[in-house]
Structure 1
Amino acid sequence: MADSLSNCGTSYVPEDGTDGLTYNDVRILPGFIDFIADEVDLTSVLTDPEDHAEDAADKFEEGGFIMDPMVLSPSHTVGDVMEPKMRHGFSGIPMTETGIMRSKLVGIVTSSDINFLAEKDHNTLLSEVMKPRIELVVALAGVTLKEANEILQCSKKGKLPIINDLDELVAIIARTDLKRNRDYLLASKDSHEQLLWGAAVGTPADGKYLLDLLTQAGVNVIILDLSQGNSVYQIAIVHYIKQKYPNLQVTGGNVVTAAQGKNLIDAGVDELCVGMSCGSICITQEVMACGWPQGTAVYKVAEYAQRFGTVGHMVKALELGASTVMMGSLLAATTEAPCEYFSDGVQLKKYRGMGSLDAMEKSSSSRKRYFSEGDKVKIAQGASCSIQDKGYTQKFMPYHIVGIHLSVLWSMMYSGELKFEKQTVSAQTEGGVHGLHFYEKRLLLRTVVEAEVVDGAHPSVPLQAQPPSVTEWSTDLHYGFPSSFPGREEGRS
């Protein structure tokens, strides 16, 4: 992708430094509608899909196959299984003669084989506890995903090894992956139905070693995690990545101006991360007097970058030109996030800004992100706080998804059809709940249609056509009182 950017030329840069507006300062003017909300495509572009087009020669035609599972040999010990089991939760590891893929399959070890072994038995060879090859249910390479799923369901096993004509292991299928693919249809996956994932690296000093480890693990995208992306440090590591791993996708940033974005595009990044001190716990603009309101920053950077194909307020960010949205506190408050505790009976989550003193004291990566690892006096550019647990992501993410479905007009952005209007404080007040003594605001009503699922397969009939066995509930119920009401309570759940 870097080649395509350089061929386009990046000499022209839109003027920066005009009046800055953030999301609450603008509203989108309504237009003509000729579609329904369900027709809106929310597929977002993180990096150029053409850069992922070159696949390995031996990929299966259909997804769902694990091509690089953990493999051990009979000469390994029970202790060799315990460590990855505790760390990753693996419940079944195939055994080959040499302990690598494309070696003859000799057995498999599962949790049931080792669960009741004492610590003194950790030196026991796996050949003594594994299920031998003769007891395994396998499938031949070339089997379709549908056929493999049927074999796995009928066998009631957790893993299905895929072998070639020489009885060599070439892939496996896991029941847990089948359940995940069924339950999370919108997850981002590669051609093997494996989750796409990214990782952050810092400055070149420690980033190169970490980068090598991540690429060995199969990382799909690297995020360069620096508070100020337009720096010699980030440009240096971009050059290093593109020289050593030319096909690896790189996200550069953070930037807030087109001029900053130009330098990183010239260096070879595939995506730009926009924003400086716009998060709920960031105080860089307050402390450093440096930054730009997020609405204008997204528009200006996207206006420039979209010419080269580098492409709470999610709707406005997308409509201002963003192609992907990052979330911080929205996900930090979910049940799945770590670091929970209780205070006065309320379940809370610890949420620290990367620029907070708490984060700098705990991790060197935070200090490096703000170029302050050598400073004797640390200046906070973020805050630490506690946020109330919002529940599982499946509870509130549908609310955001449906809201974007109803609002997205991204295709109209650069055609000139989409119009924004600056809002006064009074207009912002008018656009929300106002002038009421008491109000009830229900943000989400979810309808679940209960349908019979046979053997874990998807219903063959669309949900809308299923029998009306329906359960409804609402979430995020808020009550409010006008500002003049004594002892008012706003946003109480």
Structure 2
Amino acid sequence: MAPQEYTHGGVTVTEEDLVDGYSAEMIFSAGAMNRGFTFDDMIALPGQIDFGVEQVDLNTKLTRNIKLSFPFASSPMDTVTESKMAIAMALQGCIGFIHCNCSAERQVEQVKKVKSYENGFITEPAVMSPDALVSALDALKAERNISGVPITQDGKMGSKLVGLITKRDTDLVEDRGASLSTYMTPAEGLIVGKKGISLEEAQTLLKECKKGYLPIVDDAGNLVSLTTRTDLLKSRDYPHSTKNAATNTLRCGAAVLAQEGHRPRIDALAAAGVDVFVIDERNGSTDAQVKQLRYIKEKHPGVDVVAGNVVTCAQARVLLEAGADALRVGMGAGSVSTTQQVFMIESAVPCIIHVRAVGRAQISAVYYVSRLAAEQGIPVIADGGIMNTGCATKALSLGASVVMMGGMLAATEEAPGDYFYQDGVRMKHYHATTSFAVQSRADGLAVPAGSSAVVTSSGVSGLVVDRGSLDRFIPYMVQSVRHGYQDLGVSSLNAAHEQVYNGTVRFEIRSASAQKEGGVHDLHSYTRKLFA
């Protein structure tokens, strides 16, 4: 059937001539405009809305084997992600990657804090003997941040349960040298679960007995595990949390470098229960990264690996062939990165701001690499340049499964570092991993303590304005992306990818005037509040 024609003023047009915008393929095709595009260069055109915003499904895959409720990850930077951030991200249905700009021991400790924050059955709880002193309990509480401890005959797991002691039993005791047996609740007065009880049954029993702890014992009365009311409340308050189904612990990732010297660190992190590694390199096109990737996959096949960073299909293909479970895309797009810049700044200190004029515009990189990775079912993480929820929506629409954020999260309460005030504004410090501020420290990645070597940097340090708690910021991000997808007329990430690739979702390139028009303009002043 021939397309319908319309004639007006002597000009004849067909339905095909009236199609709005361009498909992503038309925009990114090699001969189209011969240049790279980033977030502000493009805008998506609206689609037909036949569903409510709450029906938008943002479930996604971080890696080949790990799913997330929401498509956000925190960057492995020392001013962004340590255990507090990783815990908060996992509780919100996202994930955090703990940085490696520290000793292996400290990084392992951070991972353990995440893994022990929420448990189903705690198989290795803190245990004490009845002869232990109240002062020893005080020290254990301070070290482990716990309020109750089971008491066994010899103070070890697997021996006979003789009691339980909690903060309420000892907080008013004046003699801290007294033994725990004096104040503990004896085993006869405890509600216990039998070995083999399911987690659901254990949680039901906790609800019914209104106790804070439920020891699990075998037929001989020996302690085999513990479950707590605190974890029950966490499950209720954070229904979307990212957990390892096998252990019921929060998931977290950890960064490692491509160098061989990081292999003992990798082994220790795997033993601590880390769920996913990210090989944290500015440029993933190295033989060292391929070797490290293969080492992890061979030595720790149960731990997924995010490889990168890459921005071209040629780079991505090598890492996919080596077994990458996800690709991290971005080079020089971050707010504190200088990799793409083409000038040099020499500072008074022995450091050169090292600008390489190498990289790629972020949206172009995400689109091309995602098309290749999608052929093998491998997710892509868009890392860098995410300045707002609009950037996140575009990156996720054009192929990314997850967006990784640094600067967006660096001024949240959960990020490392203290707030301070400058000109009346509450702020935090934010450093690029490759900035001089990081690399010049004794525990930095590039310069050993006492070294006189000149430091080269491909990033800067800066200040970011307070964004409050993740408990409010991530729900704001989620709702904003949902609204963006609703305006597109797509109800899920998978649907967005499919409709972008088949040309249903259309885009336009924005002129400088269009970008100005699309922002706030022609006001004397205005205030901006992200969420109520």
Given the two structures, how large is their TM-score scaled by the length of structure 1?
0.75
Q: Once the 2 structures are TM-superposed, how far is the Cα of residue 193 of structure 1 from its aligned partner?
A: 3.8
Q: Which residue matches 2:93?
A: none
Aligned residue pair count: 418
Query: In the aligned structure 2, how far is the partner of 1:273 from the partner of 1:374?
Result: 32
CA distances 1:268-304 after superposition (whole Å, capped 9, x unpaired): 1101111112111111212111111111111111111
- 1:106 aligns to 2:193 (yes or no): no
Equivalent position SS for 1:413: helix
- Residue aligned with 1:340, SS: coil
- How far off its partner does 1:148 sit? 3.0
Distance 1:29 1:417 in 2: 10
Q: Secondary structure at the match of 2:404?
A: coil
Q: 1:31, CA displacement in angstroms?
A: 2.5
**Paired AA for residue 208 in structure 1:** R
- Aligned AA (2:412): T
Work out whether 1:328 is the aligned partner of 2:344.
Answer: no
Q: For 1:310, give the aligned amino acid.
A: I
Q: Deviations over 1:32-75 (max 9, x none)?
A: 333222111111201223899xxxxxxxxxx9622433243528
Q: Which moved more, 1:160-169 or 1:323-332?
A: 160-169
Provide the rounded CA distance (Å) in 1 between the counterparts of 2:286 and 2:411: 32
1:21 aligns with 2:37: yes
Change (3 A) 1:88 1:71: closer
Residue 30 of structure 1, CA deviation = 2.1
Whole-Å separation in 1 of the counterparts to 2:479 and 2:67 = 30
Q: Distance in 2 between matches of 1:84 and 1:209?
A: 29
String of CA shifts for 1:183-241, please: whole Å, max 9, x gaps. 22222122254211111122344422222222222111111112222212221221111
Shift of 1:176: 1.7
Q: Is the 8 A contact 1:202 1:365 kept in 2?
A: no
Identity %: 37
* Distance in 1 between residues matched to 2:498 and 2:442, nearest whole Å: 42
* In the alignment, structure 1 residue 239 sits paired with structure 2 residue 239: no
Give the conservation status (yes or no) of the 8 Å contact 1:334–1:393.
yes
Unpaired stretches in structure 2, ≥5 consecutive residues = 1-28, 69-117, 342-354, 380-387, 486-495
Unaligned runs of 5+ in 1: 1-13, 53-62, 445-473, 475-493
Distance 1:248 1:422, change over 3 A: same
Q: Report the equivalent of 2:461.
A: 384
Partner of 1:393: 470
* Structure 1 match to 2:205: 151
Q: Which has the higher contact order (CA 8 A, sep 6+)?
A: 2
2:393 paired with 1:302: no
TM-score relative to the length of structure 2: 0.70
Looking at structure 2, the residues matched to 76 and 385 of structure 1 have their Cα atoms a distance apart, in angstroms, of 53
Which residue number corresponds to residue 82 of structure 2?
none
Offset of 1:83 from its aligned partner? 5.7
Change (3 A) 1:260 1:130: farther
Contact 2:125–2:225 (8 Å) recurs in 1: no
- 1:407 is matched with which residue: 480, 484, 492? 484
Instruction: Please list, as runs of the form range in 1=range in 2, the aligned pairs for 1:184-333 lying within 5 A after superposition.
Output: 184-191=238-245, 192-286=247-341, 287-311=355-379, 312=388, 313-333=391-411
Q: Distance in 2 between matches of 1:119 and 1:223?
A: 50
Equivalent residues of 1:64, 1:145 under 8 A apart: no
Q: CA RMSD in A?
A: 3.4
Match of 1:161 among 215, 228, 232: 215
CA gap 1:95/1:20 in 2 versus in 1, 3 angstroms: farther
Counterpart contact for 1:224–1:250, Cα < 8 Å: yes
Q: Do the aligned partners of residues 129 and 233 (structure 1) sit closer, same or farther apart at CA in structure 2, a change above 3 Å counting?
A: farther
Residue by residue, what CA displacement relative to the aligned partner does 1:125-147 show, whole Å, maximum 9, x if unpaired?
76676544233221224545554
Given that 2:129 and 2:156 are in contact with CA atoms closer than 8 Å, whether structure 1 keeps it comes out as no
Indicate the residue corresponding to 1:351 in structure 2.
430
Mapping 1:457-472, distance limit 5 Å? none
Deviation at residue 307 of structure 1 after TM alignment? 0.7
Aligned 8 A contact 1:74 1:97 in 2: yes
Q: In the alignment, residue 136 of structure 1 is paired with which amino acid?
A: L
Counterpart among 428, 432, 438 of residue 519 in structure 2? 432
